[in-house]
Amino acid sequence: MDENTFTENFNNQGWPSKTFLCYMVERLDGDAEIPLDEYKGFVRNKKLTTFLEENRHISLHIFASRIYTVDDSGSRQSGLCALQAAGARITIMTSKDFERCWVTFVDHKEKPFQPWEGLEVKSQELCDELQAILRDQ
């Protein structure tokens, strides 16, 4: 993705215009790859939860730039808790995680990652919010 797409959609200070799923596959032999030709779309929580439950040999670690809130029905809490119960690790991205994403997925033209103002403070707030959601299941 280009730099502007990253900044507009991964900045944890506001609401993104799109949802991006950037992922790497780490194989048992220790090698890692980024699937280039596969569909990179949104996977519904329920399907992902079912997949993880049926494939216990697969581990999933989700690094989220923010917690998405659509309504107050509690659906986000139940979805996050279901993913965790199925074995997924869910964490909020820190500056180090944003930098790894920048280096791995952004056409940055050799520019270093520049953290935006308030990144670490917002990451900690979101981490606290996520922990409260997962703890209160």
Could you report the per-residue pLDDT of 75-89, keeping only the tens digit for each? 567 788 888 999 999
Q: How far apart are CA 54 and CA 137, in angstroms?
A: 22
* Residue that wins the pLDDT comparison between 91 and 30: 91
pTM above 0.75, yes or no: yes
Q: Indicate whether 74 pLDDT > 80.
A: no
Q: What is the span of the domain harbouring residue 47?
A: 3-135
pLDDT band at 15 (very low <50, low <70, confident <90, very high): confident
CATH number at residue 65: 3.40.140.10
Question: Helix (H, G, I), strand (E, B), or coil: what is residue 65?
Answer: coil
**H helix intervals, 37-111:** 45-54, 75-85, 95-105
Per-residue pLDDT at 107 exceeds 70: yes
How many domains does the structure of the chain reveal? 1
Phi and psi torsions of 2, nearest 5°: -85, 170
